[in-house]
Amino acid sequence: MDKKSEEKIIFDASSSISVRNDATPETYPLHWHDAAEFTLILKNGCRYRVNDTLFELSKGDVLLIWPQQLHETVKIPRGGATFLQFSGNFLENNLDLISVSGFLHAFNVISHKEEPELAEYISERITEIQEIHSSSDLFAETKSKLCIYDMLLKIGEHVMSKRKNTGDTGPNTNAGWGYIRAACNYIAENASDDITQTEVASHVGLSSFYFSKLFGQYMHMSFPAYLADIRVKNAVTLLLDKNLSVTECAFQSGFQSTTTFNKVFREITGYSPRDYRKLYR
């Protein structure tokens, strides 16, 4: 690969945040990284691919790339975007965000035409972070992190509000969501262990039957499918460590056999663990 087009996420020495809008390649091949990347579109004619979806973006739109998501810069005009990248730890260390991560990962574009208020709000925060980083403010890192959590909160509330308004979460939303949130948090903390649906249901105080029904209603997937997805995400993080073999990544993320791991990993990502590892940039 041409070194000039190689993407390098270089955080400041004392920070976990990077923001830039110059010296960015006009095209960049399919890849992933462990950082989140929010892109403010400055010019019309920007084209990006996230997983298998091609997005045609216009000025004022915001593209949301979540940690570990495969994405490709198909074409952008020179100086056509501002890139904000921040550590995945912002999401991984927050149980509120972990519990809704599946919904966040499915939300990749804030259209200025369709959601002008949210698009302008996020655009202003990205611009604010850029200004903070170019200043000599003693508390630049803290202020930047507050802006990022502000954005994540705003996006999270928007995504969950849309689901509530369309009736996706069903009746008794607040009470039911409390059980699901507690379950998701428990799964996130114990996914590497050999946990079962019965165990998680017992932890949140529900019968296995009712928990299964409630989980499917709120999460739109079964408990086994959700657990497998969390384990694959954990495995992807482990794949960053080149000292770990694929087999070690499988068992440390909670899979009981390499055969199951390879099968599930390909079903979720479309790639084998080894091929997926090669796409890391």
108-135: per-residue pLDDT in tens? 999 999 999 999 999 999 999 999 988 8
| Parent domain of 244 | 174-278
Q: 95 or 51, which is more confident?
A: 51
Judge if 45 and 153 occupy the same domain: yes
Judge if 17 and 81 occupy the same domain: yes
Chosen domain end from 165, 197, 219: 165
Judge if 128 and 73 occupy the same domain: yes
Q: Is 141 helix (H, G, I), strand (E, B) or coil?
A: helix
Number of domains observed in the structure of the chain: 2
Judge if 136 and 266 occupy the same domain: no
Q: Give the model's pLDDT for residue 260.
A: 96
Strand order in the sheet with 109-110: 17-20, 81-87, 35-41, 62-65, 109-110
User: HSE (CB half, 13 Å, CA atoms) of 159?
Assistant: 20
Q: Above pLDDT 70, what percent of the chain?
A: 90
Q: Is the pLDDT of residue 24 over 50?
A: yes
Judge if 105 and 242 occupy the same domain: no
Q: Give the model's pLDDT for residue 148.
A: 96
Chosen domain end from 165, 185, 212: 165
- Read off the CATH number of the domain in which 269 is found: 1.10.10.60
Let me know: does 151 contact 89? Beta carbons within 8 Å. no
Q: Give the model's pLDDT for residue 170.
A: 47
Q: Is the pLDDT of residue 5 over 60?
A: no
Q: Is the pLDDT of residue 6 over 60?
A: no
